[in-house]
A = this chain, B = another copy of it.
Amino acid sequence: MRGELLFTPGPVMMHKRALEAMIGQVVSHRSEEFRQLLDDVRELLAKVYQGGEPLVLTGSGTLAVESMTWSIVEPGEQVLVVSHGEFGERLANALAQRGARVDILEAERPGVHVPAEKVVEKLEEKEYSAVATVYTETSLGLSYRDVEYIAKKAKSCGALVLVDAVSALAGEPVPPPGVVDAVASAAQKAIAGPPGVSFVAVSEDALEKMKRVTKKPPSYLDLWKVYKFHSERRETPYTPAVNLLYGLREALRLIVEKGLDVWINMHQERAELLYSKLPGLGFKPVVEPEYRANTVAAFYTPIPSGRLAAELAKRGIRVARGMGSLKDQVVRIATMGWLPEDAYERLFKALSEILA
């Protein structure tokens, strides 16, 4: 029901100010009013990205990730994917569908990271056009904090670095465009904006590459076209979700008002709270300590996750179950969005009751 506490890894609860910004009358996307709105959103996004050229899309995080892969990688190119789970696999699939030749480095088991040396080895062994990975693997709550180190190595080998940061941006110190080449994210995660808007911030190198791509992606996925419209007309190529952008602008302003560091820290503190409290209730963390994400925490549950989630739902609290083979054994609790002050207290109380 509307009014549930959302501890799900997106969409997340929005601030009243951002919600209310969405009900003004629709404006034309070819008006100065809209251009100013888009300018504001892009300027604020650049603050959250800490650089790069933010390109704004109407669609989910999947659209952002697929636009990134289809716009920057050409059929036949060699790409290395470092994967820690479901979303790493999806990234590899998107690249394979694009026609790239994909080598995939996978974690040995759920919850551990791929050692950076293994990636470096691969980069020394073969010439890659691009290296792609997921910063925060939402299916496990694993943040791949080696991305910056790997990116430096990859870029020195001439590879572009593509990062799916859908569940990371504004919740983790994601390396900015420049250090990496493309960072895909979405509004309804750590930014606490409305679901339906996503974005990719790109580096100069990525822009150069997109300009040269000969086999164009479907127009809706064409980031080069978005860039041209943004830079030449301060517009989007296709009708954007105008009302959602008003909401997103407020969500971004709220972060900038607080300070990006404060906002990232809040996620970290919430995650630490979860990791400190839940083991006492019989939950076992899925991810090794150094790679535990700020934005979503995953635990093996003492009772089947379906029953746990259903019991919480009865109490107006929504969490997510595991994905794939971990569906029944794992519960995922996110730390994103404008949660009420007593949200975690209510969560812990409910968990204690259910497990009593």
- One of A3-11, A261-269, A296-304, A346-354 at the interface: A3-11
Known interface pairs A196-B244, A238-B61, A241-B195; A28-B14 also in contact (CB < 8 Å): no
- Does residue A27 face the partner (Cβ distance < 8 Å to B)? yes
- One of A106-114, A145-153, A202-210, A216-224 at the interface: A216-224
- One of A29-37, A116-124, A227-235 at the interface: A29-37
Per-position binary interface string of chain A over residues 177-204, scored 1 when its CB falls under 8 Å from any chain B CB and 0 otherwise: 0000000001010000011110000000
A26 and B195: CB pair below 8 A?
yes
Contact check: which of B25, B63, B219 meets A2 at CB < 8 Å? Answer: B25
- Does residue A50 face the partner (Cβ distance < 8 Å to B)? no
Per-position binary interface string of chain A over residues 89-110, scored 1 when its CB falls under 8 Å from any chain B CB and 0 otherwise: 0100110011000000000000
Contact check: which of B30, B186, B243, B318 meets A195 at CB < 8 Å? Answer: B243
* A66 vs B240: C-alpha distance when bound (angstroms): 16
Known interface pairs A31-B318, A59-B59, A94-B218; A194-B24 also in contact (CB < 8 Å): no
Shortest beta-carbon distance from A89 to chain B in Å: 12
Residues of chain B within 8 A of A329, CB atoms compared: none
- Does residue A13 face the partner (Cβ distance < 8 Å to B)? yes
User: Can you tell how many copies of this chain the complex includes?
Assistant: 2
- Does residue A39 face the partner (Cβ distance < 8 Å to B)? no
B219 and A188: CB pair below 8 A?
no
Shortest beta-carbon distance from A21 to chain B in Å: 9
- Does residue A260 face the partner (Cβ distance < 8 Å to B)? no
Which residue on chain B has the smallest CB distance to residue A1?
B33
Contact check: which of B26, B93, B241 meets A241 at CB < 8 Å? Answer: B241
Residues of chain B within 8 A of A10, CB atoms compared: 239
Residues of chain B within 8 A of A247, CB atoms compared: 243
Contact check: which of B12, B26, B30, B62 meets A238 at CB < 8 Å? Answer: B62
- Does residue A49 face the partner (Cβ distance < 8 Å to B)? no
Residues of chain B within 8 A of A159, CB atoms compared: none
- Does residue A288 face the partner (Cβ distance < 8 Å to B)? no
- Does residue A254 face the partner (Cβ distance < 8 Å to B)? no
Shortest beta-carbon distance from A36 to chain B in Å: 10
- Does residue A290 face the partner (Cβ distance < 8 Å to B)? no
- Does residue A256 face the partner (Cβ distance < 8 Å to B)? no
B14 and A26: CB pair below 8 A?
yes
Shortest beta-carbon distance from A38 to chain B in Å: 13
* A242 vs B197: C-alpha distance when bound (angstroms): 11
Residues of chain B within 8 A of A25, CB atoms compared: 2-3, 13-14, 19
Residues of chain B within 8 A of A46, CB atoms compared: none
Residues of chain B within 8 A of A186, CB atoms compared: 239
B12 and A26: CB pair below 8 A?
yes
B219 and A220: CB pair below 8 A?
no
Residues of chain B within 8 A of A90, CB atoms compared: 219
Residues of chain B within 8 A of A244, CB atoms compared: 196, 241, 243-244
- Does residue A129 face the partner (Cβ distance < 8 Å to B)? no
Shortest beta-carbon distance from A234 to chain B in Å: 16
Apart from A94-B219, A194-B242, A195-B239, what are 20 other A-B pairs with CB-CB below 8 Å?
A1-B27, A4-B28, A6-B27, A19-B24, A20-B23, A26-B195, A28-B318, A29-B195, A31-B313, A58-B195, A58-B196, A60-B239, A61-B238, A66-B218, A70-B218, A188-B239, A196-B242, A196-B244, A217-B218, A221-B221
